[in-house]
Amino acid sequence: MGWAEMTLMKVVFITLGLILLFIMAHQLTMYVRPGIFPPKRVVKERIVVAGGAGVCFLCIGILFAILAK
């Protein structure tokens, strides 16, 4: 892989991680509001999935940034 492809991969992984963490934050604000739709159980599942995926993508992007020089 060339330099440009690795740089693009780093940017994509870090950006996806940050977007998913922002989605998780939005879902957290929905979770603490009373009387929301969808039910809190569904929102809690979304928080776990978005947060877990966001952390994974962010860690992978940071590892690429550190190790692929």
Higher-confidence position of 15 and 1: 15
Q: Report how far residue 69's alpha carbon sits from residue 54's, in angstroms, rounded to the nearest whole number.
A: 23
Largest CA distance in the chain: 51
Higher pLDDT: 2 or 13? It is 13
Give the DSSP letter of residue 37: S
57 pLDDT more than 90: yes
Mean pLDDT of the chain: 89
Query: Mean pLDDT over residues 20-24, rounded?
Result: 93
Query: Is the pLDDT at 68 greater than 90, yes or no?
Result: no
